[in-house]
Amino acid sequence: MSVKFLCDLYTPGEANVIAFGVPLGRDSKKVLRSLRETSDYVEVFDMDKKINLLDDARISDVGNLKLKKLDEITTTTNNILEVKKIPLILGGGHLLTLYALKAFKDVKLVVFDAHCDLKDDCKDKEIMRLDFINGVKFNPKINDATWLRRACEFMNPKNIFLIGVRSCNEFEFDFIEKNGISYATPNQIKKDIQGVKKRLKQFIDGSEVYISVDIDAFDPSIAPKVDLPEPNGLFLNEFIELIEAFGKSKLAGLDLCCIKDLNDNQRTEFLAIRAILEILSLLSR
């Protein structure tokens, strides 16, 4: 029997959170295996909060998608939403978020990422390598660097909040400002985390929220297994503090993506799992 994410004590019927893996990008199957294996070693009890972070999250891991077509991500997400459960999507490249979002009708999107991913097209060789899947041809319009721009074509950009962003070009920045996308850079967070929390709270305003975490939002010193290690990233304490801003808003879905297969210990996976646990603890509030 294959390794499941966070022990997998529940059947899909008993669970309220359904996890699945999206093997999108080179070596992503190895990364997904490592995430699941590492999750076995993480304690879900939080000594500071004195609670089990999974008190109200019953997770069932249904394995990886075959991913012959990217639409499978939308279909699977949709099937989970139809039975009123929360999708927890493990990646894979960030492009998965675009296809997951297509399954939601009305959500606010909070993205933790070093990058804005708002390019209109990207022919970058490096991105091309990342997006390689089962022989599916690289599309300069639909990839890890453009996915959020494509999402803005079917969702209101005012319903998007980027956290930890510190890398974009002037065209992306212009797009952010013209379309009213909210954002908080790590410097803004470090200077005034309470102010950012307040803005985040006002943005969410009790609505359903989808949280996407690109692991490169964190500082590369604590998340080294990434393709583009942008300095001056977030630390876990800041992430935990910001997650508090979600309060009683309803968690509609979440994903964790963009871990790279690198020769390192499991610190990036441990961090990723901690981040997921913090988000799932929202279900207990």
| Footprint on this chain of Mn ion (rule: CB under 5 A) | 113-115, 214, 216
Residue 114 CB, nearest distance to Mn ion (Å)? 5
Contacts of residue 184, defined as CB under 8 A and 6 or more positions apart, other chains included, come to 161, 162, 163, 164, 165, 196, 199, 200
> Which residue's CB is nearer to Mn ion, number 113 or number 278?
113
Nearer residue to Mn ion within complex by CB, 164 or 253: 164
Q: Which residues contact 106 (CB under 8 A, 6 or more apart)?
A: 207, 208
Q: Smallest distance from the beta carbon of 229 to Mn ion, in angstroms? A: 10
By beta carbon distance, the residue nearest Mn ion is 115
Considering the complex, what minimum distance in angstroms separates the CB of residue 40 from Mn ion? 27
Alpha carbon separation from 49 to 21, 86, 211, 244, 280 (Å, rounded): 29, 24, 22, 12, 14
Closest CB to Mn ion among 8 and 216?
Answer: 216
Shortest distance (Å) from residue 78 CB to Mn ion: 25
Instruction: Rank residues 88 and 130 by Cβ distance to Mn ion and give the closer one.
Output: 130
E strands in 105-250: 108-112, 160-163, 182-184, 209-214
Which one, 80 or 133, has the nearer CB to Mn ion? 133
Is 179 in a helix, a strand, or coil?
helix
Distance in Å, CB of 122 to Mn ion, minimum: 13
SS3 191: helix
Smallest separation, CB 217 to Mn ion (Å): 7
- Beta-bridge mates of residue 18: 60, 87
CA distances from 224 to 91, 200, 208, 219 (A): 16, 27, 32, 8
211 by DSSP, 3-state: which? Answer: strand
- Nearer to Mn ion by Cβ, of 115 and 119: the residue is 115
44/101 with CB nearer Mn ion? 101
> Which amino acid type is present at position 204?
I
CB 38, min distance to Mn ion, A: 21
Using CA atoms, how far residue 202 sits from 73, 116, 175, 249, in Å, is: 30, 21, 22, 11
Task: Write out the two tokens for 55.
Answer: 């008190």
Residue 1 is which amino acid? M
Smallest distance from the beta carbon of 117 to Mn ion, in angstroms? 7
Q: CA angle 270-272-277, nearest 5°?
A: 95
Give the residue with the Cβ less far from Mn ion, 63 or 229. Answer: 229
